Structure 1
Amino acid sequence: MPYDKRDELPAMVQEALPAHAQEIYLSAFNNAWEEYDDPEDRRGDASREETSHRVAWAAVKSEYEKGDDDRWHKKE
């Protein structure tokens, strides 16, 4: 289930990430949703949705990191 806009993202994602990171998440999730349509392309028994969420978080973590204040900050 791809997302059309940020306010459709899971509440946890909306609450945890700043707006730009949400955009990264949304784009990565939607791309992974298309890329991992075939179960043979996924690891183990992971569902298409689970795989897409993992890819999305990995994309966010490539540009953002969680600080000591438990908030996500853009990497320098």
Structure 2
Amino acid sequence: MAEVQLDNLPGEVNDLPEGAQNIFKAAFKSAQEDGISRDGAINIAWNSIKQGYAQGEDGKWYKVPQDSNTHHKPITSGGN
């Protein structure tokens, strides 16, 4: 199996916040270790970033706040 190359990642990864960089690198490494191509691993890593970060209009990446109310609303009946 080929060694995982983290030093050849897209330059945009360096522009990510540190936490997002860590997520990207971990997802990329895991995908590569599973035998996924470099391009496939990069796509998986970007999708992992987009789960918790969003790119602002200024081009910078920001952590998306988690809305705990969205996922734990009680279900109420609609009447008769």
Which one-letter code corresponds to 1:2 in the other structure? V
Q: C-alpha distance in 1, partners of 2:4/2:61?
A: 23
Identical residues among aligned pairs (%)? 32
- 1:10 deviates by 3.4
CA RMSD in angstroms comes to: 1.7
User: What are the within-5 Å matches in structure 2 for residues 34-49 of structure 1?
Assistant: 34-35=33-34, 37=35, 48-49=37-38
Q: C-alpha distance in 1, partners of 2:51/2:44?
A: 11
User: What are the within-5 Å matches in structure 2 for residues 9-24 of structure 1?
Assistant: 9-14=9-14, 16-24=15-23
- 1:12 deviates by 2.5
Q: Secondary structure at the match of 2:50?
A: helix
5+ residue gaps, structure 2: 66-80
Q: Give the aligned partner of residue 27 of structure 2.
A: 28
Between the two structures, name the one with larger relative contact order (CA 8 Å, sep ≥ 6): 1
Q: Secondary structure at the match of 1:2?
A: coil
Q: Secondary structure at the match of 2:4?
A: coil
Q: TM-score, normalised by structure 1?
A: 0.71
5+ residue gaps, structure 1: 43-47
Deviations 1:6-54 (A, max 9, x none): xx3432211x21111000000000001112x1xxxx6xxxxx0000000
**Structure of higher CA gyration radius:** 2
Among 46, 56, 60, which residue is 1:67 paired with? 56
**Runs of 4+ deviating beyond 3 Å:** none
More helix by share: 1
